[in-house]
Amino acid sequence: MTYADRLHPLTVFAFYCAILVLTMTATHPVALLSLFVSAVLLRAVQIGVKRTLAGVPIALLLLLSVTAINLFLVHRGAKILFFLNGKPITLEAGLAGVFSGLMILSVILFCACMSRSLPGDRMLSLFKRRLPRLALLLRMTLGFIPRMRTRYREISDARGALGLSRGRGMLNVLRARLTDLSILLTLTLEESMDQADGMRARGYGLPGATRAVTEPRSARDAILSVGLVLLLVPALLPLFTGRGEWNWYPLDRSALVPDLFLSLSFAAGTAIAVLPILLEGKETLKWHILRSRI
Amino acid sequence: MAYLAVSDLTFTYHGSTTPALAGCSLSVREGEFLLVVGRSGCGKTTLLRSLKPALAPYGERKGSVTLDGTELDRMSPRDAASVIGFVGQDPERQTVSDTVFAEIAFGLESVGLDGTLIPGRVAEAADFLGIGRLASRKISELSGGEKQLVNLASALALNPRLLLLDEPVTRLDPPAKLRFLSAVRRINEEAGVTVILAGHDTEELFPLVDRVARMDAGRIVSVLPPRDFARSADGADVRFLPTVPRVWRSVNGTDEAPLTVREGRAWLRTVCKDPVPETEPTDAATPEKKAAALLSAKDVWFRYGRNDPDVVANLTCSLFPGEILSVLGPNGAGKTTLIKLLSGILRPVAGTVRYDGKRGLPETGRGGIAYLPQNPALLFARDRVREELDEVTEGLPDREDAISRAAARFSLEGKLDAHPYDLSGGEQTRLALAKLTLLSPRVLLLDEPTAGLDPFARAALASVLRESAAAGCAILLATHDLAFASEVSDRAELFFNGKLNACADVRRFFSENRFYTTQASRLSQGILPTATTADELIAELRKEGGDAK
């Protein structure tokens, strides 16, 4: 049981969307670094330190390759490290590479965290309520594919065992396969008629259908949603005002320390990412304490 | 005052000339549990569907149906959807959702119940049927029996007053069948819901129902309480009786008819005053004495995926020419897998399958191994029965003659120009068998051939199988139909834990088993220990009666 399980899926979804938007739009190294640290911590809280560390080699590989690509493709910047094939390799390009690598890593980590906090069926339940017909169609189609695959296997097995679907020569094989497919089509149509009956028997298509409320919203959801909005406004301000836009070429060291406006904004952004860590962490801690008492 | 009144209902399917229902009349009291029996094609399904407006078939309809005094056509679709519940035959084809919860909630959502009330109603229905713990499971992971209970729960959640069940248990194995029927009985008894069930599974149903209606040619011929139905049954009707009243009816049939094994044994004690001592049953046909095995598996192992459990584990078995071997066991035990291994569709992970003494299987086709899948429709690729049969006559000297002889043998003469999908379940099985036998196979592997067959079709199938065996064909059938297995087979064995134990003589198998055995055997154990089928028991009793006289 995680903290996210006790929240309405929409609340969880909104939090992760906000975090992902902030991460993808962040350019300032301070913001990127704080978001990356939050991502690592959240992952550690979710799956444990050991399993998080297990991801370090692949993360390093990704980081190094992104850095290398940037280093060798971008030749702008003032601080030249060395020349390669007559092209300058610069410190700025290297740093820009490292931080874009960190950004990509953070996005991957947050996505992994989201899929853990919000597994497939809970995610689907979000859309079910808003687009019920589409959700049903999607579900039935998705259910159809494996069913048709099994059915096709059964058909070709059964007919093959009689020597009916294993002809010699390309043309015969093709013909046999087409026959199998036509049987599959007929059978599937028959089956969908039964399924349609099952739906109609239970009143499908009547006007005024409702949706089961399986995840009622609680006060917790309300508080967190309000908190999210309150933090999101300052966190997004730099994006809309254009301030805090970071530029690697040329590197301006004085801009590295954010001013008061940016500091507050980054703090708000980081807070959004830190909140899940605290909530999940509290949960993990509680379990540890509970277990030690048992 | 009848709760449901069907009066003079006549119905003809669009494009057909003969009516499917011809002046059908029926009146059902509120809270009654009615069983409808009849040969397949007699109009049971048409009748049941005509009682549910959303499922009413297209065609020409006369007569009236009233439910609780209201004409069915005048009911609002919303009322009709919830007041009349319907569960059909195939558990696989009725579900639409991914999880059990969503499936049970589906109807409630469709009729527009307040969303906050739905979880409670779902919980109520699921818990009443004892499937509450399945609520968050995926439908695709459930067994057939569980799926059918989910279908029942989703009808039940709508709070129906009338429940229509169209052969709901024919695809289920005996334990799942009992679980489903006892759920239906609770709905009927504890919630007072009126139930109409059409089906051939009279064995389990006779003790449960209030009345039995017999349909014939689109008409209700008689509606009687089960004991009276048993007493008045004669001629062909006797086939619809379960074993206990059938034996009773064939031998004596005057006073109160027994319905359960317990009642049957009490009655049998009065007939056979001094019980016959239990003799050690002799193995009539020890397979070793016959010719060499035609198809055999030795130390065969099989699993579907590397990390999956073993479905077949260290299995050894042989099939001899001219014999019928029944492999029994619940659904999902791996009987189908075993058949696929023997037919060469699947290859064993370890061990060998030998055909005719040689390792490996023969070229498919003529004169080899023929496999009848559970769903015979998998084999049908043409638009007419005749073309269907013609597909396998290639290479025969006189193709027309072969087709007409096969059609005659499987009683399909009148159906040669019909579409295979328009045949009844029994006819489809026969057509598939006709197709197989046109290839003159030496081995027949049949997967659940009796599912959905009426008593007449079953009897016809039994005689066809015995004929083929007499002609030297080796037959293996996987089934959970114990009565059928005891009637046709020479040997029988329970498929358990991935293995077949030593395949025993069928008589021995059924007379030594106490629980996993036929009604006839349960009825006669300790009294007339040699009979394992209803027919044997009847013959035995008649002989005894003759001796006494």
Residue A132 within a domain = no
Angle CA B111–B113–B115, to nearest 5:
130
Mean pLDDT, range B91-113, rounded to an integer? 87
Task: Identify the DSSP state of A205.
Answer: T
Residues B549, B545: Cα–Cα separation, whole Å: 6
pLDDT the model gives residue A231 = 93
Is A241 inside a domain boundary?
yes
Q: Of A172, A201, A230, at which residue does a domain stop? A: A201
A197/B88 touch (CB, cutoff 8 Å), yes or no = yes
In this structure, the answer to whether residues A62 and A188 fall within a common structural domain is: no
CA distance A213 to chain B (A): 5
- Say which range, A206-220, B193-207, B331-345, has the weakest mean pLDDT: A206-220
Question: Positive or negative, the Cα torsion across B95, B100, B104, B107?
Answer: negative
Contacting residues for B181 by C-beta, under 8 A, at least 6 apart: B169, B204, B205, B208
Residue in chain A nearest B378 by alpha carbon: A155
Q: Between B477 and B201, where is the model more confident?
A: B477
Q: Which helix (H) or strand (E) holds B348?
A: none
Distance to chain B for A281, nearest Cα, Å: 27
> Taking residues B25-33, what's their average pLDDT?
94
In a shared domain, residues A230 and A147: no
Give the structural domain span for A87.
Answer: 4-125+216-293
Nearest to B111 among A183, A195, A203 (CB): A203
Q: Is the dihedral of CA A227, A230, A232, A235 positive or negative?
A: negative
Residues of A in contact with B380 (CB under 8 A): 183
For residues B273 and A230, which has the higher predicted lDDT (pLDDT)?
Answer: A230
What are A121-176's pLDDT values in tens digits?
677 777 766 676 777 777 677 777 878 888 898 898 888 888 775 556 788 888 88
Inter-chain touch A204–B93, beta carbons under 8 Å = no
Give the tens place of pLDDT for each residue, A221-231.
999 999 999 99
* pLDDT of the residue at B100: 92
- Treating both helix axes as pointing N-terminal to C-terminal, what angle do B455-470 and B425-438 enclose, rounded to 10 degrees? 10
Q: How many CB pairs under 8 A join A and B?
A: 153
**For residue B110, which of A55, A125, A121, A199 has the smallest C-alpha distance?**
A199
- Among A143, A154, A191, whose Cβ lies nearest the Cβ of B373? A154
Structure tokens given for A160: 């093959």
Q: Pick from B157, B158, B56, B142: which is nearest to B91 by CA? A: B142
A193 assigned to some structural domain? yes
pLDDT tens, B368-386?
888 999 888 888 988 889 9
Instruction: Classify residue A243: in a domain, yes or no.
Output: yes
pLDDT band per the 50, 70, 90 thresholds, residue B549: very low
Q: Exposed, middle or buried, A123 (CB in 10 Å: 0-12/13-18/19+)?
A: middle
Within this chain, do residues A145 and A194 fall inside the same structural domain, yes or no?
A: yes
pLDDT at res. A125 = 72
Average pLDDT over residues B106-131: 91
Tell me the chain B residues in contact with residue A156 when contact means C-beta distances shorter than 8 Å: none
User: Does residue A210 form part of some domain?
Assistant: no
Q: Tell me the pTM.
A: 0.79
- Regarding whether A285 and A160 lie in a shared domain, the answer is no
Starting from the edge strand earliest in sequence, which strands make up the sheet with B59-67, in order? B21-28, B4-13, B59-67, B70-71
Contact B112 A208 (CB under 8 A): yes
Shared domain check, A234 and A197:
no
Chain A: closest CA distance from residue B105 (Å): 7
DSSP 3-state of B211: strand
d(C-alpha B313, C-alpha B324), whole Å: 23
Of A145-159, B183-197, B307-321, B389-403, highest mean pLDDT: B183-197
- Smallest Cβ–Cβ distance between A164 and the set B55, B77, B391 belongs to B391
Question: Are B439 and A136 inside 8 Å of each other by CB?
Answer: no
A257-269 core/surface letters (b: 16 or more CB in 10 A; e: else): ebeeebeebbbbb
| pLDDT, greater one: B380 or B502 | B380
pLDDT, mean of residues A230-258: 84
Q: For the segment A24-73, what is each residue's pLDDT rounded down to a tens digit?
A: 999 899 999 999 999 999 999 988 899 999 989 999 999 999 999 998 88
Of A161, A197, A214, the CB nearest to B371: A161
**What torsion do the CA atoms of A260, A261, A263, A265 make, to the nearest 10 degrees?**
160
CB contact under 8 A, B140 and A182: no
Cβ contact (<8 Å) for B95 and A162? no
Contact B86 A139 (CB under 8 A): no
> Chain B interface, mutation test: which of A8, A156, A200, A210, most B Cβ atoms within 10 Å?
A210
How distant is the Cα of A223 from the closest Cα of chain B, in angstroms? 22
- Across the interface, of A143, A158, A213, the residue whose CB is closest to B118 is A213
Which carries the bigger pLDDT value, residue B521 or residue B271?
B521
Q: Are residues A42 and A158 in the same domain?
A: no
The answer to whether residues A80 and A222 belong to one domain is yes
Percent of chain B whose predicted confidence (pLDDT) is above 70: 93
CA distance B56 to B242: 31
Distance spanning both ends of chain B, measured CA to CA:
50
Spell out the domains of chain B, with CATH numbers in brackets. 4-224 (3.40.50.300), 287-543 (3.40.50.300)
Determine the Cα–Cα distance for residues A141 and B302; give it in Å rounded to an integer.
32
Candidates B410, B397, B368, B430; CA nearest to A160 is B368
ipTM for the predicted complex comes to 0.81
User: Torsion over CA of B107, B110, B116 and B117, rounded to 10 degrees?
Assistant: -40
A120 touches chain B (CB under 8 A): no
Q: What is the pLDDT of residues A169-217, one digit of tens each?
A: 788 888 888 888 899 988 888 888 888 888 888 888 888 778 787 777 8
Kindly state whether residues A100 and A40 are assigned to the same domain.
yes
Cβ–Cβ gap B81/A203 under 8 Å: yes
In a domain, A209, yes or no: no
- Identity of residue A163: G
Does the beta-carbon distance from A143 to B154 stay under 8 Å? no
Is residue A86 domain-shared with residue A113, that is, in the same domain? yes
**What mean pLDDT, rounded, does chain B reach?**
86
Residue B199 has pLDDT above 60, yes or no: yes
Tally the domains of chain A: 2
Asked if B111's CB is within 8 angstroms of A186's CB, the reply is no
Residues A113 and A161 in one domain: no
Residues A149 and A88 in one domain: no
Q: A139 at the B interface (CB within 8 A)?
A: yes
Is there a contact between A199 and B96 if contact means CB atoms under 8 Å apart?
A: yes
Nearest CA distance, A145 vs chain B (angstrom): 13
A205 touches chain B (CB under 8 A): yes
Residue A135 belongs to a domain = no
User: Quick one: pLDDT at residue A166?
Assistant: 58
Q: Which residues contact B117 (CB under 8 A, 6 or more apart)?
A: none
Q: Do B115 and A211 touch (CB under 8 A)?
A: yes
Q: Are A264 and A164 in the same domain?
A: no
Measured CA to CA, the distance from residue A107 to residue A128 in angstroms comes to 26
| Residue A208 domain flag | no
Cα→Cα distances B545→B245, B246, B270, Å: 18, 17, 12
Confidence at residue A167, expressed as pLDDT on a 0 to 100 scale: 59
pLDDT value at B548 more than 50: no
Measured between beta carbons, the chain A residues lying within 8 angstroms of B158 are: 202-203
DSSP code of A131? S
